[in-house]
Amino acid sequence: MTIRQFVDDPTIPDAARLFHRVHLSFIVPGQGGEARISSGLFRKKTELSIVIESVLAQAGRQPEDCLRNYPLCKLVALTAAICRQNQQVVVRDPAPEEPAHGIVFGNKTHAIASVLSLAAEWVVPSPPPRYAEIEAERRRKNV
């Protein structure tokens, strides 16, 4: 398998939010019944596919648009800053089906995956769900 290399795109500001879909299977019970993102979501994903919020917004699209056709997923965001602070580079990678597409590139060790999972901010739903809600949805959808 060929590993592509990327150079960080400085036109993406540190404050930029980068959206990533989260399958229900990646959501686990956290402290006090909160819904927590498993580090497994990011583990070893050298090329993490993301959608850049600002590009999405420029096209008049809402975050919920990222979940169209993905009823088993939720949406979280990482900032470009937290990615860069953890040895990742952030690049634009527009695709015909998703002009706002980008990539967070870099080796995601367990330590880095853990940091990213704790830093991930819930976008859809917001406010963050309780784990009991996720579990109920999982059972309802037979996931």
Using CB under 8 A, which of the segments 6-14, 29-37, 76-84, 93-101 binds another protein?
29-37
CB 103 within 8 A of CB 20: no
Q: Is 128 in the site for another protein (CB under 8 A)?
A: no
CB 123 within 8 A of CB 64: no
Q: Is 141 in the site for another protein (CB under 8 A)?
A: no
Which position among 6, 9, 38, 91 is part of the footprint of another protein (CB under 8 A)? 38
Burial of 138 per CB tally in 10 Å (0-12, 13-18, 19+) = middle
Q: Is 108 in the site for another protein (CB under 8 A)?
A: no
Which position among 6, 8, 9, 40 is part of the footprint of another protein (CB under 8 A)? 40
Q: Which two tokens stand for residue 24?
A: 């229900």
Q: In what order do the strands lie in the sheet with 17-23?
A: 89-92, 101-105, 47-52, 17-23, 73-79, 121-124
Give the interface with another protein as residue ranges (CB under 8 A): 21, 23, 25-26, 28-31, 36, 38-40, 43-45, 49, 70, 72-73, 110-111, 114, 138, 143
